[in-house]
């Protein structure tokens, strides 16, 4: 099932024809109807990883900026 909310096939079940494995993850080649096939990254399907425990909020982004800044300062000091 396609689960990504912005994908045109969101909410639809598609037949997996075959799976391609890449270093970055799996891609499912599926029958999209009308004789067409579509390649779906595993992350846009119900076979992908569960959504993060913490939603991406402004607070989370602010924390991320602080971590990146701290790492950058450490690299500059070395």
Q: Is residue 6 assigned to a domain?
A: no
Angle CA 19–25–31, to nearest 5 = 30
Q: Is residue 27 assigned to a domain?
A: yes
Residue 38 near residue 29, CB atoms below 8 Å: yes
Coil vs helix vs strand at 65: helix
pTM: 0.60
Provide φ and ψ at 18, rounded to 5°.
Answer: -165, 165
Q: Is residue 1 assigned to a domain?
A: no
Q: What is the pLDDT of residue 78?
A: 63
Domain count across the chain: 1
Q: Is residue 47 assigned to a domain?
A: yes
Q: Is residue 29 assigned to a domain?
A: yes
By residue range, what is the domain housing residue 47?
15-77
What average pLDDT score do residues 32-49 get?
Answer: 89
Coil vs helix vs strand at 8: coil
């Amino acid at each position: 099932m396609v689960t990504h909310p912005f994908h045109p096939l969101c909410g639809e079940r598609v037949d997996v024809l075959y799976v391609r494995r890449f270093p970055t993850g799996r891609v499912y080649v599926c029958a999209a109807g009308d004789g067409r096939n579509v390649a779906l990254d595993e992350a846009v399907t119900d076979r992908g990883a569960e959504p993060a425990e913490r939603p991406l909020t402004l607070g989370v982004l602010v924390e991320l900026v602080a971590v990146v800044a701290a790492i950058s300062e450490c690299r500059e000091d070395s």
